[in-house]
């Protein structure tokens, strides 16, 4: 089996969301075939495909664009696959050529099970990134330790003021 690596994993109660980096084009194609219309539109937008095309009914074009963007080095392809397990076996929901869109998609899946929001901001004035994180059903915020943009330590926006 081709090499796979877990890049992200988070769970709330029975729900587990995982982002896997893989070099297996067949595995990525299977995940792509499982994507619903919303996931395909999300991928379409993340790839920045020309707006003269319509995402509806353009699965072959979307797959070709995904393959072009997935080129790591020369002819090597790498993909990030978002899997979800909700009390059963894992189900592939999304495949992307890049880590940021796969992570954002996975976080959106987790947000559907969250019940409150807290904002965090990067204290680095040059960065200034602001992120919203939701409180999960277990009642705890899962704050970020470091800014995903500049790598600086994060803190709650209320503490920053």
pLDDT in tens, 118-129: 666 777 777 666
pLDDT at 31: 95
Over residues 51-84, the pLDDT tens digits come to 666 666 678 889 999 999 998 777 889 999 999 9
In order of 40, 48, 62, 152, the CA distances from 37 in angstroms are 5, 16, 12, 36
The residue among 17, 158, 12, 126 whose CA lies nearest residue 80 is: 17
Give the closest residue to 20 by CA, choosing from 108, 104, 92.
Answer: 92
Give pLDDT tens digits for 28-44.
Answer: 999 999 999 889 988 99
Q: Which residue has the tokens 């982002």?
A: 19
Question: In 3-state terms, what secondary structure has residue 149?
Answer: coil
Q: What is the mean pLDDT of the chain?
A: 78
pTM: 0.67
Q: Select from 1, 9, 3 the least CA-distant residue to 102.
A: 9
- Percent of the chain that is helix, strand, coil (3-state, to 5): 30, 35, 35
**125 secondary structure, DSSP code:** T
How many angstroms separate the CA atoms of 81 and 21, rounded? 6
What's the distance, CA 28 to chain centroid?
15
Distance CA 146, CA 151 (A): 5
pLDDT of residue 120: 67
């Amino acid at each position: 089996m081709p090499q796979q690596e877990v890049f992200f994993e988070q769970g709330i109660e029975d729900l587990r969301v995982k982002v896997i980096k893989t070099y297996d084009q067949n595995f990525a194609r299977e995940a792509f075939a499982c994507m619903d219309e919303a996931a395909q539109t999300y991928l379409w937008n993340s790839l920045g495909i020309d707006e003269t095309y319509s995402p509806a009914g353009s699965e072959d074009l979307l797959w070709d664009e995904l393959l072009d963007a997935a080129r790591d080095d020369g002819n090597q392809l790498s993909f990030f696959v978002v899997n979800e397990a909700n009390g059963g076996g894992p189900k592939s929901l999304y495949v992307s050529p890049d880590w940021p869109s796969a992570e954002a998609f996975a976080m959106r899946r987790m947000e559907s099970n969250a019940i409150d929001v807290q904002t965090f901001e990067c204290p680095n004035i040059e960065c200034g990134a602001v992120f919203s994180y939701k409180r999960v059903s277990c009642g705890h915020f899962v704050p970020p330790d470091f800014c995903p943009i500049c790598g600086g330590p994060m803190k709650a926006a209320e503490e920053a003021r």
